[in-house]
Amino acid sequence: MFIFNAQLRVRYADTDQMGYVYYGNYGAYYEVARVESLRNLGYAYKDLEAQGIMMPVLENHSRFLKPAKYDELLRIEVTLKQPPSVRIKFYYRIFNEQDQLIHTGETLLAFVKVNTGKPCRPPEILLKLLSPFFDEA
């Protein structure tokens, strides 16, 4: 299992007139968290696209438990429960400054070749970097 905690400050731009983070902005929050989790591992998503692979989102599920508010410094816990295959599933749990769980979500993404649009295996380097987290006895 691979776990990473990202931090993200709520912007004024993210709020709506309810005074909460607009529900449509969590997708961008997830993106920040998963990209930072990979960067922390030593892998830049940018390099993936430079290699001709992109990662479109196939499925997304979000549960809004409590509102996130302006200027809060959120903690976004990202988890991979399985090593990636042609697909990769990220789990998110978001905590507010009082460390209350306010949100959970999952995003399923695919590895796809930019030129053919066909699914492909993740880059070897990424698999290698992640393997210590999924090693079995």
Which residues contact a second copy by CB under 8 A? 9, 11-13, 15-20, 22-28, 31-32, 35, 44-46, 49, 54, 56-64, 67, 70-71
81 three-state secondary structure: coil
Cβ distance 92 to 106 under 8 Å? yes
CB 76 within 8 A of CB 118: no
CB of 122 to a second copy, least distance (A): 17
13 Cβ neighbours under 8 A, 6+ residues apart: none
Residues 58 and 109: beta-carbon distance below 8 Å = yes
Toward a second copy, which CB reaches closer, 67 or 83?
Answer: 67
Closer residue to a second copy in complex, CB, 31/77: 31
For residue 52, the minimal CB distance to a second copy (Å) is 13
Q: Shortest distance, CB of residue 18 to a second copy, whole angstroms?
A: 6
Smaller CB separation from a second copy, 13 or 137: 13
CA-CA-CA-CA dihedral for 76, 19, 14, 40, to nearest 10: -10
**Least separation in angstroms between CB 101 and a second copy:** 15
* 63 touches 128 (CB < 8 A): no
